[in-house]
Each structure stands twice: as C-alpha cells, then as structure tokens.
Amino acid sequence: MKYRQLTKEQFSALHKEFAKFLATQQIDVKEWEQIKAEKPKMAEEELNIFSDLVWEDVLTKVAYLDHISSNHINLFKCSSKEIIRILIKWNDKNKSFLKVSDFEWFQKNALDDSFEYFKAIKTYSNERNLELFDLIEKGSVISKGELFSVISPLIGQQ
C-alpha cells in the first residue's frame, strides 16, 4: 500500500465511487459481501487498492497546503517539481493562531514586529505525492491558497 487506507467515514462518503470501482473488477454487491465474509484478506486488498487510487487522485490535484499551530503557520505552494514554503512565526507566546480573535488580529497586523517570516523553495526529494501525503499526515490541510496569496507578496515571494 502506497498511502494509507481511507477511514470508515471516507469510505462511507465515497460509497458510490467504491461501488463503481468494484464494478470495474466485475464484483457486484452480493459478491462483495461474500468476499468480505469468506476472504477478508482479499477484501482488505481491494480496500487498499481503492484507497491508493483515491489518494493519488486527490494528491495530484493539490496546489496548496496549510498547517496552522499555536505559534506557527506553514504555507505550502505545491507545483509539479518544487514546493515553496512560507513559515510565519509568532514570537508572542501569549497569542495563538488557533484563537479566532488572535488570528483576526494577525490578519490585520501581519507586518507587526512580533512576526517572523521565512521562505524556502525545494525540489521534491521523494515522489511529489508521497511528500504531500506526509505533510497531510503531519497535520497539513489542503487549501485554496488564500493565505499564501496574501502573505506571499508581503514578503516578496511569488
């Protein structure tokens, strides 16, 4: 397995797609129930294959990732060959990016001296989608890049 198996909630949300996936392998509902009951390893393998297909499709479409913690924001712009990272560090330990009021204050005062900005560009050292998956597993979320687009010009990073 290349990534990880989807959660029960994710499978539930994708039940129609999973049914189509099984149909492409000429497995109908009755046969699927029989496989689950009599051949659990085979059923697990089908779930793993489907999970990898879903993850591959999702990760290929990712353009931006955000990871927000109490005193740091990591913004990633993910192209096909390289990833641009902007790190925002809040030096005021009494404030938190996770608090709505503090985050709103940050948005209005992004150039305040209590923030440090770092930027870096790196080519992928591994397969692109595997690196993005790793960032997601560590807490990053797929975004539309709104925050990256606002912060990038402020620090001279396109």
pLDDT tens track, the chain, 158 positions: 999 999 999 999 999 999 999 999 899 889 999 999 999 999 999 999 999 999 999 999 999 999 999 999 999 999 999 999 999 999 999 999 999 999 999 999 998 999 999 999 999 998 999 999 999 999 999 999 999 999 998 887 44
Residue whose C-alpha is closest to residue 141's, from 130, 133, 129: 133
Q: How far apart are CA 68 and CA 128, in angstroms?
A: 21
Distance, in Å, from the CA atom of 41 to the CA atom of 98, rounded to the nearest integer, reads 42
What are the tokens at 96? 């938190």
Q: Could you read off the pLDDT of 103-137 as tens digits, one per residue?
A: 999 999 998 999 999 999 999 998 999 999 999 99
